[in-house]
Amino acid sequence: MRRRRALWFWVFVGPFAAGLALFTYVPLLWSVGLSFFDAHNTVTPTDFVGLDNYTAMLKDGAFTGSLRTFLVFTAFIVPVTFALSLALALMVNRVRRAQAFFRSVFFLPAACSYVVAALIWKMSIFNGVRFGLANTLLGLFGTDSVAWLSTTHPPWYWLVIVTVRLWLQAGFYMILFLAGLQRIDPVLYEAAAVDGARPGWTVLRHITLPQLRATSVAVLLLLVINAFQAFDEFYNLLSDARGYPPYARPPLVYLYYTALGQGQNLGLGSAGAVILALIIAIVTVGQARWLRLGKSGEE
């Protein structure tokens, strides 16, 4: 019986495990190996260069600049998405009728492709000429058109990048918060009411938010990791056939150009990918420890 169960386990899990190994772990280990070689236009290099690729990448102003871009992006996107999705969840949770409808409406953008959303934002809403939607609205107030994606002073491109991601992501995190909210025991609210706590900020601060702690920690971790992995909307909003501006180039876009673009410097790109993976791992572990992920509330 046990052998048969083991057999079925491998029948169902085996193909996926093999796929995972073949298409994820082998390339990952190969990439780590490549990072120690001079690998221009080859994945089977012969010139071992030790840590040269790592030092070159860490000295590269464009790469460190891309990390700064990521920090700015994270500073915007994480708290704003967190607050917006929590607010949406609180609102939807209070709706007595058609809750499923509102839940679906806010969640639907999560089903939209980043590429499609980015192109709509770029070409229809935030194009820089007078007939773009945003500029048409500004025109009603007598304001000049703004070249949203081309202006660095002030950096309007952040508004475009942040809003498209907010639109795409907030609904997904709202669902997570909603699930958390619906797990809170109503008795707690009743007890608070009996104790004289007024509905609103007091209850939110002393009952709801502490009860959502586990969900909040998970959402924060996901938001930071997703911010590190930002690529699609940046690339589709800002790249053209001739390249990409340096002012909004997150690490993945830079590594894409280094390793897979015309540069084809797979050794240097791999070193950058390893550095980025290490940074993500360190930040995630640090964040998890700081937020005491996995510790029960009583400890």
Partner 1 sequence: MTISRRTLLGAGAGIGVGVVSGCGSNTGRGGGGLGGTRLAQWYHQYGEPGTEQAVKRYAAAYTKARVTVQWRPGNYDQQTAAALLTDSGPDVFEVNGPSLDQIQGGQVEDLTALLDGVEDDFNPAVLAPKTYQGKVYGIPQTVDTQMLYYRKSMLRDAGVEPPQTLDELVDSAQKLTGNKVKGLFLGNDGGAGVLGGTPLYAAGLRLVTEDGKAGFDDPAAARALGKLRELYARKALLLGAPTDWSDPSAFLQGLTAMQWSGLWALPQVQKELGDDFGVLPFPKDGPAGKPTVPVGAYGAAVSARSKDKAAAKAYVKWLWVERTDYQEDFALGYGFHIPARISLAKKAGKLRTGAAADAVRFATEHGYAQPLLWTPASQTAYQDALSRIIKDGANPESELRGVVRKVSAELDRVKHTS
Residues forming the site for partner 1 (CB under 8 A): 40-43, 61-62, 123, 126-130, 132, 145-153, 240-243, 245-247, 257, 260-265
- The structure tokens 């971790």 sit at 221
Instruction: Kindly calculate the radius of gyration of the chain based on its CA atoms and give it in whole angstroms.
Output: 24
Residue placing its CB nearer to partner 1 in the complex, 264 or 287: 264
Two tokens, residue 166: 């907010």
Report in angstroms how near the CB of residue 188 gets to partner 1 at its nearest: 51
Shortest Cβ distance from residue 37 to partner 1 (Å)?
13
Give the residue from 279, 255, 247, 282 showing the smallest Cα distance to 53.
255
Query: Closer CB to partner 1, residue 33 or residue 261?
Result: 261
Q: Which CB sits closer to partner 1, 43 or 67?
A: 43
Closest-CA residue to 69 (of 221, 270, 220, 255): 255
Judge contact between 204 and 91, C-beta under 8 A: no
**Tell me, what amino acid is at 123?**
M
Helices (H), the chain: 2-20, 26-34, 52-59, 61-94, 99-107, 114-120, 133-140, 157-182, 186-194, 201-203, 209-211, 213-228, 232-238, 251-255, 266-290
Q: Which is nearer to partner 1, 62 or 281 (CB)?
A: 62
Residue 103 CB coordination number (10 Å): 19
For the CB of residue 129, give the shortest distance to partner 1 in the complex, in Å.
Answer: 6
Residue whose CB is less far from partner 1, 170 or 238: 238
Shortest separation between residue 168's beta carbon and partner 1, angstroms: 22
Q: Least CB distance from residue 122 to partner 1, whole Å?
A: 8
Q: Is the peptide bond before 199 cis (omega within 30 degrees of 0)?
A: no
| Closer residue to partner 1 (CB): 171 or 250 | 250
Amino acid at 168: L
Q: Nearest approach, Cβ of 211 to partner 1 (angstroms)?
A: 46
Cβ distance to partner 1 smaller for residue 79 or 245: 245
Least distance (Å) between residue 126 CB and partner 1: 8
The distance of closest approach from Cβ of residue 75 to partner 1 in the complex, given in angstroms and rounded to an integer, is: 20
- CB closer to partner 1, 165 vs 249: 249
| DSSP 8-class letter at 18 | H
Contacts 24+ apart (CB under 8 A), 231-234: 231/256, 232/114, 232/115, 232/118, 233/114, 233/117, 233/118, 233/121, 233/161, 233/164, 233/165, 233/168, 234/161
